[in-house]
Amino acid sequence: MRRTELCTKPPRFDEDLVVETDAMTLARWHLGEIEWNEALRLEQIRVFGPRDLARALPSWNLSSTSRIS
């Protein structure tokens, strides 16, 4: 099983995926107040890395209130 981590500074190994956002946007998405694709469209969230991982990332949010579109 792969684990996800939140890093506030670069880790000592290569990242699989990098997400740039602010704390408010991340919290709003986690609470279901903003949809993932809307945050991407508004450039409030930016994702760098392999496309398959970037597309899967929203499903990693375990919050039952979050919406993925």
Domain spans in the chain, listed from the N-terminal domain onward: 18-60
Dihedral over alpha carbons 47, 34, 63, 3 (to 10 degrees): 0
pTM of the full predicted structure? 0.70
Q: How far apart are CA 52 and CA 32, in angstroms?
A: 23
Helix (H, G, I), strand (E, B) or coil at 36: helix
Whether the predicted pLDDT of 1 surpasses 50: no
Chain segment 21-55, per-residue pLDDT in tens: 998 998 899 888 999 999 999 999 999 999 999 99
- How far is Cα 55 from Cα 25, in angstroms, rounded to an integer? 18
Phi-psi group of 43: left, alpha or beta (phi > 0 → left; psi -120 to 50 → alpha; rest → beta): left
